[in-house]
């Protein structure tokens, strides 16, 4: 039930005044005025016995800590909430993934990297909500356009997982002129660890030998990021 809602609020949404129903509000062109719970309710589609879709959405957001928690949750976590079965959980996950893809698509099919902010715009939506570390490779052409994005590893980042051999094999296969590497810190702390610095040094040194320079190494943490190049740790 919504905070402060009366018993009547548990009635089916069809019993609500027409312009208070989330779908009708959105059809009227008021999507931006809808609350997070109302938007989630539209993804849910229907409620359950004794609770409307809006009630269930409020409950989900409260249990998971808002949109950030919702975006990190997988289907098993969503399905623990009363009124959310497999179909509803998958509807929510599909809506969230479409939002991420739309954000990336708005950058164009071959975005040009002019600096760390361009990399962050491309990768933050993809990495900020992950619960484990992922190491990604952006292959650039001679004009700094991204020609390919590759996931190299998933899991705790260490030198045994991120080996220059794997990184540059993918770069050579993609005919990359230069590289940018990116990984996330699920902890929310964007500061590079000693392991991060060691991996960066290895990749930069290997790039010099092979002739495919590493332009930057970004660490994504939530909506923030750290650029090794901006820190002066990579000689571009």
Question: Can you give the CATH number for the domain in which 140 is found?
Answer: 3.40.140.10
Claim to verify: residue 205 and residue 115 sit in the same structural domain? yes
Q: Mean pLDDT of all residues in the chain?
A: 84
Q: How many domains does the chain have?
A: 2
- Given 69, 104, 139, which residue is the final one in a domain? 104
Give the tens place of pLDDT for each residue, 91-113: 998 988 888 777 666 545 667 89
Instruction: Tell me the DSSP string of 6-31.
Output: -GGGGS-GGGS-GGGSHHHHHHTT-G
CB 85 within 8 A of CB 93: no
Provide the domain limits for residue 181. 109-227
Which residues pair with residue 224 across a beta bridge? 221
- Given 59, 88, 104, which residue is the final one in a domain? 104
pLDDT at 136: 94
Strand order in the sheet with 224-227: 146-154, 134-140, 178-184, 214-221, 224-227
Higher-confidence position of 177 and 68: 177
Cα(17)–Cα(156) distance, integer angstroms? 51
pLDDT at 86: 92
DSSP strands (E only) in the chain: 134-140, 146-154, 178-184, 214-221, 224-227
Claim to verify: residue 85 and residue 127 sit in the same structural domain? no
Banded model confidence at residue 35, pLDDT cuts 50, 70, 90:
confident
Q: Is the pLDDT of residue 157 over 60?
A: no
CB 113 within 8 A of CB 144: yes
Helices then strands, each counted (H, E), the chain: 9, 5
């Amino acid at each position: 039930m919504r905070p402060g809602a009366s018993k009547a609020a548990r009635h089916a949404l069809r019993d609500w005044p027409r312009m208070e129903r989330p779908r009708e509000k959105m059809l009227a062109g008021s999507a931006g005025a809808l609350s997070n719970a109302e938007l989630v309710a539209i993804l849910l589609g229907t409620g359950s016995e004794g609770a409307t879709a809006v009630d269930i959405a409020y409950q989900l957001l409260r249990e998971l800590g808002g949109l950030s928690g919702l975006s990190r949750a997988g289907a098993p976590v969503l399905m623990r909430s009363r009124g959310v079965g497999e179909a509803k959980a998958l509807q929510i996950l599909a809506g969230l993934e479409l939002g991420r893809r739309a954000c990336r698509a708005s950058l164009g099919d071959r975005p040009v990297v002019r600096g760390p902010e361009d990399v962050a715009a491309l990768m933050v939506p993809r990495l900020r909500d992950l619960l484990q570390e992922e190491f990604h490779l952006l292959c650039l052409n001679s004009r700094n356009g991204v020609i390919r994005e590759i996931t190299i590893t998933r899991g705790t980042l260490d030198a045994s997982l991120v080996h220059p051999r794997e990184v540059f094999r993918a770069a050579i296969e993609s005919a990359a002129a230069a590289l940018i590497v990116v990984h996330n810190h699920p902890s929310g702390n964007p500061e590079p660890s000693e392991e991060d610095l060691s991996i960066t040094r290895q990749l930069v040194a290997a790039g010099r030998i092979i002739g495919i320079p590493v332009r930057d190494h970004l660490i994504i943490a939530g909506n923030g990021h750290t650029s090794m190049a901006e820190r002066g740790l990579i000689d571009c």
